[in-house]
Chain A
Amino acid sequence: MSTVEAKAPAGFAPVYTRPKSLSAARFTYCPGCHHGIITRLLAEAIDELGIVERTVGIAPVGCAVFLYEFFRCDFVQAAHGRACAVATGIKRANPDLIVFSYQGDGDLAAIGTAETVHAANRGENITVIFVNNQIYGMTGGEMAPTTLPGMRTVTTPEGRDVRTTGYPLRMSEMLAQLEGPAYITRQAVFDVRHVQMARKAIIKAFQNQIEGKGFSLVEIVAACPTNLRLSPPEAGRWVAEQALKYFPLGDLKVRE
């Protein structure tokens, strides 16, 4: 799996190139998946801060499981939901490293809720990228804790019934209540403006770690076009119009 970098013809300067911290491996995400955008933003942030040689990533269980193949930095693959505990172990063992985890909503907000809450509460000096696509992508589109009321998934074929399955879990709001975290923000990547904002948030979340400020989490409300059974543009619009109703964007906690 490798890609060929297009060479700009004479007299033209390339304005969109592959981030240096990405390897030559091709992404394994479906076409139009927001994971692809977020993974690239992460690489851009690592490039911009010049930290690839001291960064350790933690790959989740979920559609981003192959993250370790995409990056040119050290990586640890974690058990489903345990990334924040694994990150704690790495960072405590070697505080000079820049440690980030990248986790889906099933990973971070269902099976890994305890590990996430307690890492945040301890103010672990790590960076967490939380991809909230309101679905279990990898296992075939089951209900996630973040699935919207009435939303059809393979395990809520009639739509999510809040009376029996509860409400979309607002993890970032919960975490923002804690003393521990330094930075909790919710972003999106469905259009260029939001992509730029998300990029800034990711950079800030790493900057915080470099400065020793503590736990920083960037939630990104994302689309899984495959399981929404929508085209990528429609899926993006769906995030903007439906998902943001439950997951309003913006900073939830900023400790300066």
Chain B
Amino acid sequence: MRVLMRGNEAMAEGAIRAGCRCYFCYPITPQGELVEYMARHLPRHGGVFLQAESEVAAINMVYGAAAAGVRTMTSSSSPGISLKMEGISYLAGARLPAVIVNVMRAGPGLGNIAPAQGDYFQATKGGGHGDYRLIVLAPSTVQEAAELVMLAFDLSDRYRVPAMILADGMLGQMMEPVELPEPIPPEKIPPRPWAVSGAKGRPPNVISSFDLDPYRFREILRALWDTYREIEEKEVRWEEYATEDAELVLVAYGTMGRICRTVVRRARKEGLRVGLFRPISLWPFPSEPLRKLAERVPVLLTVELSAGQMWEDVRLAVEGRAKTPFYGELGGVVPTPDEVLREVKKHVHS
């Protein structure tokens, strides 16, 4: 059944269908509808909805609920995500699965509530302190938003690595028809023998990110990084659109990826051989497929709602095999397809 939903609502419904039963939040625009949806629907599914006193508290409640073995989520927008970074680092260090949704707005500081992509570094390079990564997924449609939230829960469980959905205000607010995926039955959710559930008939379980011995801690982190390498091998996701014969390929994710799809269609109508490469997993970043693309496409134009953050990963992947110009907008300004097309035309000839 297709239903009309906002991106924020679809992410909330996706979480509920994924078996999320503890959700902790602190209000912030532009993800308010997600909070409201959870407040209305999660208790009906026997879940816990709790509005915390801050994002710091909310993420630490997630830490507790994850430790207790429940699928759990929090959502926020950029300034709130900054506050969650301490807790996210602890989740990563303690190997707890959890999902964090960031409906990005423009920053730094209080910035504004318009859509932006300025938190890419924070999401994909760690963000909090220490040597860790998050699984980061970036939807570009409302449908994909629901699906990726569910995938985030599965991946986070499978690898015991927290996962982040990196969306933006545009995607959060827009309404689209969605074919909601089937709920995940409780028995399909992986068991959690490591959770704190009472040390009855087994040795105590301890959830901790702490080890004073550098050699022991090194081993813990080596195991963590082995997991990250496995994720990099198995969980890279991206979409290519009209790249087969392209002379120029746009590289963009999320809302910008969606706008660039329109740009490709317009360019094609004008006879320009333009395609789109849209990373879906921002970490692991689809470096290999992008490198392959760079071997046959002379120009890869990165377009972001930022001063150029993913652009760094594009250049690292391409390593000079193709030209890698950049076009970005700042402060919550979203370029129109025509503006991007104008930029495209600087690099291709009809």
Contact = CB atoms under 8 A, between A and B. Distances in A.
Interface of A: 23, 52-56, 59, 65, 68, 71-79, 82, 85-94, 96-97, 114-115, 117-118
A114 B58 CA distance: 12
B60 A115 contact: yes
Interface residues of B, number: 39
Nearest to A91: B64
Contacts of A68: 204, 206, 208
A76 B207 contact: yes
A118 B70 CA distance: 23
Contacts of B319: none
B198 A55 contact: yes
25 contacts: A52-B199, A53-B198, A54-B198, A56-B68, A56-B196, A68-B204, A72-B204, A75-B206, A76-B196, A76-B206, A78-B63, A79-B60, A79-B63, A82-B56, A86-B63, A86-B67, A88-B57, A89-B63, A89-B67, A90-B196, A94-B69, A94-B70, A94-B197, A97-B196, A114-B56
B205 interface: yes
B199 A72 contact: yes
Interface string B200-214: 100011111110000
B48 interface: yes
Contacts of B318: none
Contacts of B48: 92-93
Contacts of A23: 204
B184 to A, nearest CB: 18
B87 interface: yes
Nearest to B96: A76
B56 A74 contact: no
Contacts of A97: 68, 196-198
B22 interface: yes
> Lowest 10 A-B CB distances belong to which pairs?
A89-B64, A85-B60, A77-B208, A89-B61, A93-B68, A74-B196, A118-B53, A86-B64, A53-B200, A82-B60
A74 B64 contact: no
B90 interface: yes
B60 A89 contact: yes
Nearest to A51: B198
Of B50, B65, B72, B199, most A-chain CB atoms within 10 Å: B199
Contacts of B50: 88, 92
A118 to B, nearest CB: 4
